[in-house]
Amino acid sequence: MGFLQSNYQLTICILYSLIFCLSSSAHLCHNDESTALLQFKKSFSFNCSACKCSRIPAQYDIDNWKEGTDCCAWDGVTCDNTTSHVIGLDLVCNCLYGTIHPNSSLFNLVHLQHLDLSLNNFNHSQILPSFGRFTDLTHLYLSDSYLSGPIQSSEEEVWQGNNFSNSIFHLQKLQELRLDGNRELTGKLPSFINGTLRHLRHLRWLDLTDIDFTGELPNSIGQLEYLEKLYLTNCNLFGTIPTSLGNLKKLTVLSLGWNNMNNGQFPSSIGQLKNLEKLDLGGCNFSGTIPRWLGNLTRLSYVYLSYNNFEGPIPQLFSNFSQLYLIDFSYNHLTGPIPSSITGLPNLHYLYLGSNSINGTIPPSLFHLVNLTYLDLSSNNLSDTVELDTFAKLEYLESLDLSNSGLSLTTTNSTPSSFRNIKTLRLSSCNISKIPEFLKTRNELLDMLDLSNNHLNEELNPLCNLHSLRYLDLSNNQLAGLIPTCLGNFNGNLTLLNLQRNNFHGSIPQTFGYASMLQELDISHNGLQGVLPRSLANCMNLEILNVGHNFLEDAFPFWLENLPQLKIIVLRDNKLHGPIEQPRKRLAFTNLHIIDMSHNEFTGTLPSEYFGSMHSMMMDDEDKSSLNYMAFGYGYYSVTIMNKGLEMTLVRIITIFKAVDFSYNKFDGKIPITIGRLKALCVLNFSRNGFTGPIPLSLVNLTELESLDLSQNKLSGEIPQQLTSLTFLEVFDVSQNNLTGIIPRGQQFETFSNTSYRGNADLCGFPLSKKCKTPKVAEPPSLPSSSSHNYKCRLDGFGWEAVLMGYGCGAVFGLVIGSCIIRRKEEWLVRIFRVKMHHQKNRSNEVRYQYGAR
C-alpha cells in the first residue's frame, strides 16, 4: 500500500516535471533578446536612494537574470506563449540609476507590448525617438523616473541611423501612457487625432501630470473616444477648456488642476460625463458660482474645486451621492451657509470648506456624516457657539480644523473619552477658555495640537499625557505657572513648541535638550527668568530659537554655535549681558539667517570671527525664481523683527531673507570689517550702541541690503561715497553720530530725508540745509532706478505683513490666518494626496499617497 502510494506520487511528480519541461521549452527566449536584457541591466548602477520608490526592496529581483538561463523565466520579463519574444518588461521601482542612451539595447526589444520603468532614476535622460520603435506597445509607464528634455511632438519624424523614428505620440496601439512626475520634461501636446493620423486613438489612460507643456489643450482631445482617465495636472496649460471633452463619455477621471485656464468658466459639457468619479479643477482661476451640472455627476467620489474664485452659496447639489468620498471647496469666495443637504453622503471621508466666507450656523445634518475623517471649516464667518464634543459624534474624525471659523467652542461638558481617533486638532481663535478633558487623558495618537489665540489660563501639566505630540501651539493665551518639565520629555516626538505670548514665569526647564527632535522652540513674550537651558545644545535639529521678550539673565549662548541647522536666533529684549567672545570653533553659526540680539545689555567689541563663519549669510546663490519658505510640517514659521523702521512680522520667512540686529546694547569699539562678508544680508541694525571709528567701507559689498541703521552710536569720519552703489537700500539711518563731511549723492541717496542724518554736527549737503564749506564740483546726481527695482528680500503683498507693535495678524508659527496668509500650491499639493490605482499584478489595488513631492 505504502509502495503503491509512493509510486503514484512518483508518477505525478514525473508528470508535473514533464509539463513543466514542455511549458518552459515553449518559453525558451531568443538569444538576442536575452543579450539585450543583460546589457540593459549592465548599463545601470543600483541606487535605491536615488529613486522615488517607497517600495524597497523592489518587487522583482533582477539578480536572477543570469547568462545561459531562459530569460522568459526572469523576474519582470514576460514572453509571448507562441513566439517566445519578450513582450513585457516590468522594472518598476528597481533602483535603476543611469542613463538610457540612444544605442541602449532596450530598443532591440522591438516586440514589447508592456514596458514599465517607473520610479527609477534615469539621470535626466531624454525620452528618445527610439521609443517610437516599439510599435506594438500598448502600455508605457515612465512615471517619476527623472526624465528630462523635450518630448518630440507627433508631427516630426526623426532620422535615426538608418531608420525613421517617431515620437511616442505616434505609437498607434498605445492604450496607457504615463509620464507623470518627470518635472523636467517639456514639450507640446500633440494634436491627438488629425485627419488621417489616427495614432493614440486607442488611448484609455493618459497621465502627463507635472510635465511642462506650455500651450493649449487641443480640441482634438475630444476624439480619444476610449479615454477613461486623463491627468493633466500642473502642466502649464493655458487657454480654454475644450467643449469637446464632453464627448469623452467613458471618462472616469478628469484632472486639470493647476493650469492657467483663464476663461473663467468651464464648459457645461463636462456635465455630460456621467461616469466621472474624480474631478480635479483646483487652482485654475475659475470664477462664477459652483456649476449646477455637478449635480448630474452622480458617480463622483472626488471633487476638487479649491483655489479658484468661486463665489455665491454652495448649491444643494450633493444629496444622496453614495460614492462621494472627498469634497474640497476650500480657498474660494463661497458665501452663505453650509448646505443642510450635505447629509446622505455615507461615504464622505473628507470635507474641506476652509478659507471661504461661509456664514450661519452648523447644520445638525453635518453630524450625520458618520464616516467623516477630515473636516476643515477654518477661516470662515460662521457664527455659532458649539460644544466641542458635538464634533465627537463624528467618531472616526482624525483631523478637525475649526481655526478662525468664527465658531465659539465651549468645553465645559467635554468628556475624557471623546475624539478617540483624533490626530490633528486645530482650534485656534475659537474662544476656548478651558482645556478640554479628553486632552488630559493619555493619548498615543494626537500629533498636532493648536489651541493658540484662545483664553486658556490654566497650568499646562495636564497635557503631559500627550506623548505622541509633534506640534504643540499654545501661543497667545493666558497660560500661567511654570513651563512643565514634561514638555522637554516628549522626547523623540516633539518638533515644534510654541508657547509665545502667555504668562509663564520661572526658569526654562533644563530638559529641552532631551527632546532632540526639536526644530522650533518659541517661548517669547512671557515672564521667564534665569538662564537658557544648556541642554538646548543637544538639539541637533533646532532651526528656530525664539526666547525674546522675557527676563532672562545670561551670557551670550556661544554654546549654540555648533547646532548645524540653527537658522534663526531671537534673543531680543532680555537681560543678557557680557561680551561676545571669539567663537570656540572655527565653524560657528554657519547656517544662521537671522540673528536678533537687540534690547539686551551686551558689552564689549564684536569679535570679527563670527562674521567670518556665518556662511549662510554670505551665500547669495539661492534661486530667487523658486522661492523657498522655511516650512514646518504644518505651516510656515513667522518671526517679528524690526525692518525699515517698523516692527514687521514676516509671516513666511523666505529663505533668502537674512538679517542681523544688534541694536539697543552697549557694544563699543569698531564695527568689524568682516561684516562686509555677509553679502546676502537684507537688514543690518547696529543702532543704539557705542560703536566708534568709521563706517566700514566693506559695507559696499552688502549689495542686497535694504535697511541699514547705524544711528545713535559714536561713529566718526565721512559717509563712504561708495555706499551709493547699494541700490536696494530703502532705509538708511546714521543719525546721532559724530560723522563729518559731505553726504553722498546719487541713486538711493536722493531718496533719504534729513532725519537720516540728524545729530551729526559736521555733516553737510543735501538733504541737510547746511551747505558744505568746500563744495566739490557738484556731480549731476543719478536718480534711483525705482521703476526697475527688483527687491530680492521681499515679495510685494506676499510674505510681509506690517504689524505695528502688536499681534494683529495672529501669526502662529506661520499658520497665519485669514487675510494674512496666502497658502498656495504647496499646501494644496500636500493635501491632494493622489490616490492612484496602480496597475498590474499584485499592485492592482495599491493606494499611493504622495506628500509634498507633487
Closer to ligand NAG by Cβ: residue 13 or 19:
19
For 790, half-sphere exposure in the C-beta direction (CA atoms, 13 angstrom radius) is 3
Instruction: Find the shortest distance in angstroms from Cβ 56 to ligand NAG.
Output: 13
In 3D, which of 233, 222, 112, 57 has the Cα closest to residue 836? 233
Grid cell digits, residue 214: 506650455
Per-residue x/- track, 721-760, ligand NAG (CB under 6 A):
-----------------x----------------------
Least Å distance, CB 600 to ligand NAG, is 24
Residue 715 CB, shortest distance to ligand NAG, in Å, is 9
Residue 473 region by backbone torsions, left for phi larger than 0, else alpha for psi between -120 and 50, else beta = beta
- The region that residue 759 occupies, defined by phi over 0 for left and psi between -120 and 50 for alpha, beta otherwise, is left
653-682 binders of ligand NAG (CB under 6 A): 676
Q: What would the x/- binding string for ligand NAG be over residues 155 to 174, using CB under 6 A?
A: x----xxxx-----------
The CA distances from residue 845 to 24, 57, 337, 771, 836, in Å, are 30, 19, 38, 83, 9
Q: Does 196 bind ligand NAG (CB under 6 A)?
A: no
Q: Mask of contacts with ligand NAG, 44-83, x by CB under 6 A?
A: -x-x-xx------------------------------x--
Contact 488, 464 (CB under 8 A): no
Question: What is the Cβ-side half-sphere exposure of residue 827, based on CA atoms within 13 angstroms?
Answer: 20
Beta strand 646-650 with 800-802 is antiparallel
Asked if 493 interacts with ligand NAG (CB under 6 A), we say yes
Omega before 242 within 30 of 0, i.e. cis: no
Judged by CB, which is closer to ligand NAG: 524, or 701? 701
Q: Does 341 bind ligand NAG (CB under 6 A)?
A: no
Nearer CB in complex with ligand NAG: 335/529: 335
Pick the closer one to ligand NAG by CB: 468 or 535.
468
374 exposure class (CB count in 10 Å sphere: 0-12, 13-18, 19+): buried
Phi/psi zone of residue 93: left (φ > 0), alpha (ψ -120 to 50 degrees), beta? left
853 binds ligand NAG (CB under 6 A): no
| C-alpha count within 13 angstroms, C-beta hemisphere, residue 652 | 24
Q: How many residues does the chain have?
A: 854
We find the least distance from the C-beta atom of residue 472 to ligand NAG, in angstroms, to be 13
Residue 97 binds to ligand NAG (criterion: CB under 6 A): yes
Report the Cα 581 to chain-centroid distance in Å.
38
# of chain residues touching ligand NAG (CB under 6 A): 50
* Interacting positions 226-255 with ligand NAG (CB under 6 A): none
Nearest Cα to Cα of residue 792 among 610, 656, 611: 656
Residue 441 near ligand NAG by CB under 6 A: no
19 contacts ligand NAG (rule: CB under 6 A) = no
Q: Which of 34, 37, 88, 98 binds ligand NAG (CB under 6 A)?
A: 98
Is residue 415 close enough to count as binding ligand NAG by CB under 6 A? Answer: no
Q: What phi and psi, each to the nearest 5 degrees, are found at residue 523? A: -125, 30
Residue from the set 191, 418, 524, 613 that interacts with ligand NAG by CB under 6 A = 191
Residues with Cβ within 8 Å of residue 305, at least 6 apart in sequence: 281, 282, 286, 290, 328, 329, 332
Question: Does position 371 bind ligand NAG by CB under 6 A?
Answer: yes
Q: Is 103 in the site for ligand NAG (CB under 6 A)?
A: yes
For position 101 contacting ligand NAG by CB under 6 A, the verdict is: yes
CA atoms of 280 and 148, how far apart (whole Å): 26
Q: In the complex with ligand NAG, which residue's Cβ is closer, 347 or 753?
A: 347
List the 527-530 sheet strands across, edge first.
480-481, 503-507, 527-530, 551-552
Sequence-distant (6+) residues with CB within 8 A of 642 are 598, 648, 661, 663, 683, 685
State which of residues 453, 701, 724, 736 lies at the interface with ligand NAG (CB under 6 A).
701
User: Toward ligand NAG, which CB reaches closer, 4 or 442?
Assistant: 442
296 binds ligand NAG (CB under 6 A): yes
Strands (E) located in 98-207: 114-116, 139-141, 148-151, 157-160, 163-166, 176-178, 184-187, 205-207
For the chain, helix (H) and strand (E) counts, in that order, are 6, 57
98/557 with CB nearer ligand NAG: 98
Residues 106-145, one symbol each (x = binds ligand NAG by CB under 6 A, - = not), give ----x------------x---------x------------
CB of 698 to ligand NAG, least distance (A): 4
Q: Is 17 in the site for ligand NAG (CB under 6 A)?
A: no
Beta bridge partners of 643: 646
Neighbours of 8 (CB within 10 A): 10
From 41-49, 472-480, 526-534, 768-776, give the range in contact with ligand NAG by CB under 6 A. 41-49
Q: Which residues bind ligand NAG (CB under 6 A)?
A: 45, 47, 49-50, 81, 97-99, 101, 103, 110, 123, 133, 155, 160-163, 191, 194, 218, 220, 268, 271-272, 293, 296, 335-336, 346-347, 359-360, 370-371, 444, 467-468, 490-493, 676, 697-698, 700-701, 714, 716, 738
